[in-house]
Structure 1
Amino acid sequence: MSAFLSLSGAILKGFVRDRAAVFFAIIFPLMFLVLFGGIFTDRGQSQLDLIQVGDVTLIDQLPAEARAAFEEVFTVEESTDRAAALDEVRQGDADVVVEMRGNELVAHYTRTDQVGAAIVQGTLRSFVDGANVAVSGQPPVFSFSSQAVEDDSLQTIQYVTPGLLGWAVAMSAAFGAAATLNGWRSSKLLRRLQLAPVGTGTLVSARVAVTVGIALAQMAIFLGLGAAAFGLVLTGAWPMAVPLLVVGTLCFMAIGLLSGAVAKTTEGAVNMANFIVLPMAFLSGSFFPLDGAPGWLQAISRLLPLRHLNDGMTDVMVRGEPWSAALLPMGVLAVFAIVVTALAAKLFRWETT
Structure 2
Amino acid sequence: MRQFWALSLAIVRGFARDKASVFFSLVFPLMFLVLFGGIFSDQTRSELDMVQVGDVPVLQELPEGAQEAFDDTFTVTRNDDLDTALEQVRSGDADVAVEMRDDTLVAHITLTDQVAAAVTQGSLRAFVDGTNVALLAQDAGRAPPYALAVEQVEDESLSAIQFVTPGLLSWAVAMSAAFGAAATLQGWRQSKLLRRLQLAPVATRTVVGARVSVTLVIALVQMAIFLGLGTALFGLSLTGSWWMAVPLLVTGTLSFMALGLLAGAVTRSTEGAVNAANFVVLPMAFLSGSFFPLDGAPQWLQNVSQALPLRHLNEGMLDVMVRGEGPSAALAPIGVLALFAVVVTLVAARLFRWERA
Asked whether the two chains share a fold, i.e. TM above 0.5, the reply is yes
5+ residue gaps, structure 1: 1-112
Shift of 1:125: 4.5
Deviations 1:158-196 (A, max 9, x none): 111000000000000000000000110111101111111
| Residues matched between the structures, number | 241
- The superposition leaves residues 191-230 of structure 1 with CA deviations (integer Å, 9 ceiling, x where unpaired) of 1111111100010000000000000000000000011111
Pairing 1:319–2:323 present: yes
What is the CA–CA distance in structure 2 between the aligned matches of 1:210 and 1:176, rounded to whole Å?
A: 10
Counterpart of 2:191 (choices 178, 187, 192) is: 187
Aligned match of 2:13: none
Q: Distance in 1 between matches of 2:125 and 2:315?
A: 32
From 220, 223, 227, the equivalent of 1:223 is 227
> Residue 343 of structure 1: which of 316, 335, 347 is its match?
347
Offset of 1:148 from its aligned partner? Answer: 1.4
Instruction: Verify the 8 A CA contact 1:133 1:139 in the aligned structure 2.
Output: no
> One-letter code of the match for 1:133?
L
TM-score normalised according to structure 2 size = 0.64
The equivalent position to 2:258 in structure 1, one of 245, 254, 259, is: 254
Q: CA deviation at 1:285?
A: 0.5
CA deviations on 1:261-293 (whole Å, 9 max, x unpaired) are 000001000000000000000000011110111
Q: Distance in 1 between matches of 2:341 and 2:127?
A: 52
Residue aligned with 1:146, SS: strand
Q: What residue is the counterpart of 2:77 in the other structure?
A: none
Give the direction of change, closer, same or farther, for the CA distance of 1:115–1:321 in structure 2 (3 Å limit): closer
SS in 1 for 2:150: coil
Partner of 1:127: 129
Residue identity matched to 2:225: I
1:20-169 matches, cutoff 5 A: 123-135=125-137, 136=139, 145-169=149-173
8 Å Cα contact 2:128-2:148 kept in structure 1:
no
Change (3 A) 1:185 1:232: same
In the alignment, structure 1 residue 236 sits paired with structure 2 residue 244: no
Distance 1:223 1:129 in 2: 46
| Partner Cα separation in structure 2 for residue 221 and residue 205 of structure 1 | 24
1:299 to 275, 299, 303: 303
- Are residue 283 (structure 1) and residue 287 (structure 2) matched? yes
Q: Secondary structure at the match of 1:147?
A: strand
Q: Cα 1:121–1:224, aligned 2, differ >3 Å: closer, same or farther?
A: closer
The two structures, once aligned, show a CA RMSD in angstroms of 2.3
SS in 1 for 2:151: coil
Please give the alpha-carbon distance, in whole angstroms, between the structure 1 residues aligned to 2:144 and 2:176: 58
Inter-CA distance 302–121: structure 2 relative to 1 (3 Å threshold): closer
Is the counterpart of residue 197 in structure 1 residue 201 in structure 2? yes
How many percent of aligned residue pairs carry the same amino acid?
Answer: 66
> Cα gap change, 1:227/1:179 in structure 2, threshold over 3 Å: closer, same or farther?
same
Whether the 8 Å contact between 2:132 and 2:146 is mirrored in structure 1 is no
Contact kept? 1:185, 1:350, Cα under 8 Å: yes
Return the alpha-carbon distance in structure 2 between the equivalents of residues 350 and 189 of structure 1.
Answer: 10
Give 1:116 shift. Answer: 8.0
Change (3 A) 1:119 1:159: closer
User: Greater Rg, structure 1 or structure 2?
Assistant: 1
| Conserved 8 A contact 2:132-2:145 | no
Q: Report runs of 4+ in structure 1 exceeding 6 Å deviation.
A: 113-119, 138-143
Structure 2 equivalent of residue 271 of structure 1: 275
CA distance in 2, matches of 1:215, 1:148: 32
Q: What amino acid is aligned across from residue 337 of structure 1 in structure 2?
A: A
Question: How big is the shift at 1:120?
Answer: 5.8
In the TM superposition, what whole-angstrom CA distance separates every residue of 1:6-65 from its partner, at most 9, and x where no partner exists? xxxxxxxxxxxxxxxxxxxxxxxxxxxxxxxxxxxxxxxxxxxxxxxxxxxxxxxxxxxx
CA distance in 2, matches of 1:143, 1:243: 46
| Ranges in structure 2 where 5+ consecutive residues have no aligned partner | 1-114
Q: d(CA) in 1 for partners of 2:117 and 2:152? A: 20
Q: Which residue of 2 is the match for residue 171 of structure 1?
A: 175
